[in-house]
Each structure stands twice: as structure tokens, then as C-alpha cells.
Amino acid sequence: MPKIETQTATTDPHQATKTAILVIGGAEDKVHGKEILKTFFDRSGGLDAKIGIIPSASREPAIIGERYYQIFEDMGAKEIQVLDVRDRDRGNDSRYLKFVEECTGIFMTGGDQLRLCGLLAETPLMNRIIERVKKKEIVLAGTSAGAAVMGHQMISGGSSGECPNRTLVDMAMGFGIIPEVLVDQHFYNRNRLARLLSAISAHPNLLGVGIDEDTCAMFESDGTIKVLGCGTVTIVDASQVSYNNREQVQGHEPVGMHNIRLHLLNYGDRYDLQEKQPI
């Protein structure tokens, strides 16, 4: 897994912040210290930030878009626009595309990750956002559903409260922004460890990343993850699994895997994606 080169965004001469991808477990603090949202704001350029908000995962995009608009306006962002895509045609809106060329940060809200992908996957708007993120020109954040879409493989639904099995998790295609990871959110709050393990049993080449509420796994441009917020980030590494019976079991029969590595990271902890080790 190659390291991401450290680079400072250069699209805006006033922007001196290092780019990152903030993957947020949902229910982030929007009232008190707002640490995670403030970190996104600062990384996007602070008072020079030009922030685009994508509320398309929500069934009430106007309400959720306005809520985040007010938060970033109160922080002092230079310019904010809600990219309110409610049908795929809007993914080619010239005004939105122009703003994406000028923005320094994009924030994807929560809701339904299948809805978000259905509206935006492979549209000119999302293709350009992803291109700019991968070139490390802008900061990207996604919370809840906006976090789930980060990988190439995406957890689209499922259950909790059971042992890992083939039927426990539903999978779909995500945006592939961080293709080597498989993200689950609201993690311990909704008892989703078995769900993530079920998904990883089908994709042991991917790194499982389970993120609690009001917690952020910040993928830095130096190839590390840094943890922010009040909960934990659970890392599931199946790269050295010696036994996996997924192909031999059916339905609700338990999945068995041997030699899984699991890490619990909390505030300030870092994880090296290249070495697959906490720092």
C-alpha cells in the first residue's frame, strides 16, 4: 500500500494548510467545541476557506445543508455553497462545477450512502471532486453516510447483535476515494463489530476501519491516520489471516477467521497505513 506524498494545497495562494481526508463516524459535535468540524474548517484554509456542502445523502437536504452552512459561516469561512444535488442531472450543473474548481474543502453529510452514490457516482461533479482530492488540492470530509462511501467497497446496510456471518452485511460500490479501506460508522454505538468482520471476511485484502460517533479517522497526506474526537477507531487487519471459512459456510452459519489483527485507537493515536502498525 503506497504512502501518500505530503503536499500542501496550492490552488489558493492564501491556503497554507495541509490537505487530509476526514472520515467521521457520525453525530459529530456541532454545538460545543466542534473540534472535528473546526479541524476540517482549519485544514480547508480557515478564514480563507471556500467550502462546498453536499447534503445529497439526506432525505431533507435543504435542512441539513443549511445546518452545516450556518456552522461554517459562524466559523468565518470566506465562501460556502450547498451543492444540493437531488437528481443526476444536477451532477453536471455548471455553477456547481465552477465552485468545485475554486473550493478548498468539500463536506459530505450523513443520510443514506446508497442514495448518495446513486445521485453522484460517476457524475462530472463527483469525478472532479475525487480528482482534486487525489491530487491533494482540497480537503474532503464525510460523516456517517458520507464516511461509508470513502472506500471502493462500501457497507450499504446490515444487522447487529449476531456473530459474523454471510448475511449480516450488505455491500455495494463506494466512491473509491480511499480504495484500500472498508469503513463502518456509528461503530460501537450500534454494535457493528460483527458487521465489519463479516464484510472483511469477504474482502480480507482491505483494511477495516470502524469509527465511533463524534470520532474522526483523519487520513493525513503522509500516509497515516490520526484519531480525533471522543470515541475510538477500530482497525481490523486481515492481511495475515491464516484461515477463513467464508466459502464453506452458508446463510447465518458463523464465519471463522484466524490470526486477525485488531487495534483500538483513541484521541491522538496514529496508524501507519504502509506498515499497518499503530504509531
42: CB partners within 8 A, 6+ apart: 17
Residue of 23, 49, 217 whose CA lies nearest to 110: 23
| Active-site annotation holds for 60 | no
How far is 273 from 275, CA to CA, in rounded Å? 6
Looking at residue 149, its amino acid is V
Beta bridge partners of 50: 79
Among 44, 56, 58, 144, the one annotated catalytic: 144
Among 28, 44, 201, 213, the one annotated catalytic: 213
Among 44, 186, 201, 221, the one annotated catalytic: 186
Decide: residue 108, CB within 10 A, 0-12 exposed, 13-18 middle, 19+ buried: buried
**Strand pairing category for 233-237 and 261-265:** antiparallel
| Active-site annotation holds for 102 | no
Do 92 and 125 contact (CB within 8 A), yes or no? yes
**Strand pairing category for 224-229 and 215-220:** antiparallel
* The three three-digit cell numbers of residue 106, written as one number: 468539500
| Active-site annotation holds for 144 | yes
How far is 100 from 55, CA to CA, in rounded Å? 15
Residue of 237, 235, 193, 232 whose CA lies nearest to 216: 232
> Looking at the annotation, which residues are catalytic?
144, 186, 213
